[in-house]
A and B are shown apart, each in its own frame.
Chain A
Amino acid sequence: MPQGVLVFAEQVDGSFRKIAYEAVSEGRRLADTLGEAVTAVVLGSGIEGMAGELGKYGADKVLAGDDPALVDFAPEAYSNVLLDITKANDPRILLVGASSLGKDLAARLAARLGAGLAMDCIALEVDGDTVSATRPMYGGKVLAKVALEGVPQVAAIRPNVMEIAEVPKGGDIEKVEVNIGTPRTRIVEKKLEAAVKADLTEADVVVSGGRGMGSSDFSLLEELAQILGGTVGASRSAVDEGWRPHSDQVGQTGKVVSPSLYIACGISGAIQHLAGMGASKYIVAINKDPEAPIFKKADYGIVEDLFAAVPAIIDELKKRKE
């Protein structure tokens, strides 16, 4: 009989991603409705020490797959291992965080399990025997409720949406044997930024610049983001100009973010951009054109040259900190 909730908890270089806590917390909530247990899975190299931390967020048990071959989150090797673990544990529900690699992992697993998968969910509910998931479609223009059927039911949850709750449980660590199989792809090289910035999808504050930035000099936004503990994003125009990397693009053909605070600087507010940030808790728009459509979606708007407004905001924030 399938039982319980299995949660994949993503870590990088020995630290859990925020989405890992969100996923375990959500798993706990679902398991409580079912009256069943939460088993978290941590994969990586040298991760056994950190695994117990998940007990704090409601994991009854933590399966640790510790193997040098798992040092990088390679979706293929990870899916091979997680497939074995899923089969051995026979969970009712499998939760994965919908980070970029997490999406990749969830899609592979669902296909191999022949399971139903709800991608990028913003809410989950247990409804009798099925999981009912709410997920945005059409670039967030529509919210769909989808029902999953079969066993297991797989849901990938959108980062930064679900609440992290401390619900201490046993968190007993169990080591699992790992067999990565024979991956069909090989990682040849990693080109990661030296200082790994918080990923856009996980950042609590996002400061984005658009064509109004006028050049690749985003230092003002970097400074504002740094003071607020946030990350810098960009509109597609800024990316197309070559001012920012593609990974910074927010929108329907970029990343979808839902921070507590989104500050749009020199961004007009095109529908494709709104698709990527419309679910932010608070939106601030800084634009010198009072007619810019972004003001219609912003909680707070400042009609001003951004090169005057942003330094003034930085000064004000510094004053407050003192």
Chain B
Amino acid sequence: MDIVVLLKQVPDTEALIQIADDKTSIRTEDVKWVINPYDELAVEEALRIKEKDGGKVTILTVGPERAVESIRTALAMGADEGILIDDPAARGSDALGTAKMLAAALKKTGYDLIIAGQRAVDDDGYQVPSAVAELLEIPQIAMVIKEEIADGKITCERTVEGGTMVVEADLPALFTTQRGINEPRYASLPGIMKAKKKPLTNMTLADLGVGAGEVGEAQAKCKIHDMSFPQERVSGKIIEGETAEAKAAELVRLLAEEAKVI
């Protein structure tokens, strides 16, 4: 089973985000970069499938040079090899552009199963995996909390509003992760040592056979033209009172008369 994990490097969820001078991107200095949390679930699930059924786990990333660190972390968790697509002409791609590069690379590596995160917590896009599956014309199942593979078929339980649905598809297929699917392992010390020797390939658009005119900022149909901070919430009032009952009465009064939400 050849499993490919689509992995994006993102700022740590705790990171202080600052807007860059160009007002269309964030300042990348002083940011701690990590594997997108949902992609960490994807790596873990890939490793579990490999441990059960055998096969190979490849990590595939579109990103700048620094993303190598995150690929190495996934290799230290147990993945077998990594591919970084990094090309100046690819910068500024939108979701569809990114998906084109990922799909081109996937056609080169081959795959039985592709696992991605449901969303990247930087752009909160929820788009790239869908586009990859559409470009490859393979089945896709989103927000999966449980999967089972047998006889060339994958059966997934996915979350939907108000519950879950069990969906099946023939392999090759793509699915995206939802929290609850697993608890990702930490990279062990021997894992980290081994990861240093695992193959990590750099690819450019030329390697992928993707033309510079197909991706990148000029081709993007969704472009950021301004960034701002949302209005800061200011701390409101702490409701004083002798007893819980007194505080409750005052809260309910405020909600009804001041906030007018009840």
Contact residues of A with B, CB < 8 Å? 12, 72-73, 75-76, 99-101, 103-104, 107-108, 110-112, 114-120, 132, 135-150, 153, 184-193, 196-197, 199, 201, 205, 228, 236, 239, 246-247, 249, 252-254, 260-261, 271-272, 275, 278-279, 281-284, 290, 295-305, 308-309, 312-313, 315-317, 320
Contact = CB atoms under 8 A, between A and B. Distances in A.
Contact of B230 (A136, A184, A282, A315): A136
A191 B169 contact: no
A51 to B, nearest CB: 21
A284 B141 contact: no
B17 A282 contact: no
B73 to A, nearest CB: 18
Interface in B135-161: 135, 138-143, 145, 155, 157, 159-161
Contact of A111 (B130, B143, B235, B237): B130
B179 A147 contact: no
A119 B224 CA distance: 13
A188 B155 contact: yes
B261 A300 contact: no
Contacts of B245: 312, 315-316
Contact of B26 (A138, A190, A197): A138
A100 B160 contact: yes
Contact of A261 (B131, B160, B238, B259): B259
Given A116-B221, A304-B244, A304-B247, 12 more contacts: A139-B121, A142-B230, A144-B226, A146-B225, A190-B164, A199-B161, A239-B179, A271-B13, A282-B261, A301-B238, A313-B248, A317-B252
B77 interface: no
A185 B167 contact: yes
For the complex, would chain B's binding face be called helix, strand, loop or mixed by DSSP majority? mixed
Given A275-B13, A301-B236, A303-B238, A145 B248 contact: no
B169 A184 contact: yes
B110 to A, nearest CB: 19
Interface stretch (B78-86, B94-102, B184-192, B194-202): B94-102
Contacts of A284: 251, 255
Contacts of A118: 222
A246 B157 CA distance: 13
Contacts of B167: 185-188
A148 B222 contact: yes
Nearest to A189: B166
Interface of B: 11, 13-14, 17, 19, 26, 37-38, 94-96, 99, 121-127, 129-131, 134-135, 138-143, 145, 155, 157, 159-170, 173, 178-180, 220-230, 233, 235-239, 243-245, 247-249, 251-252, 254-256, 259, 261-262
Contacts of B173: 184
Nearest to A122: B230
Contact of B96 (A114, A153, A239, A303): A114
27 contacts: A107-B131, A111-B135, A116-B96, A116-B222, A137-B122, A138-B121, A138-B124, A139-B124, A141-B230, A144-B227, A145-B225, A146-B222, A146-B223, A149-B222, A185-B168, A186-B168, A187-B166, A189-B166, A191-B164, A247-B159, A261-B255, A295-B235, A301-B239, A302-B239, A304-B247, A309-B247, A315-B248
B175 to A, nearest CB: 10
Contact of B229 (A73, A143, A247): A143
A302 B254 CA distance: 12
A103 B139 CA distance: 17
B161 A147 contact: no
B244 A312 contact: yes
A145 B220 CA distance: 14
Nearest to B176: A104
Contacts of A138: 11, 17, 26, 121-122, 124
A107 B121 CA distance: 16
Contacts of B161: 12, 99-101, 199, 201, 247
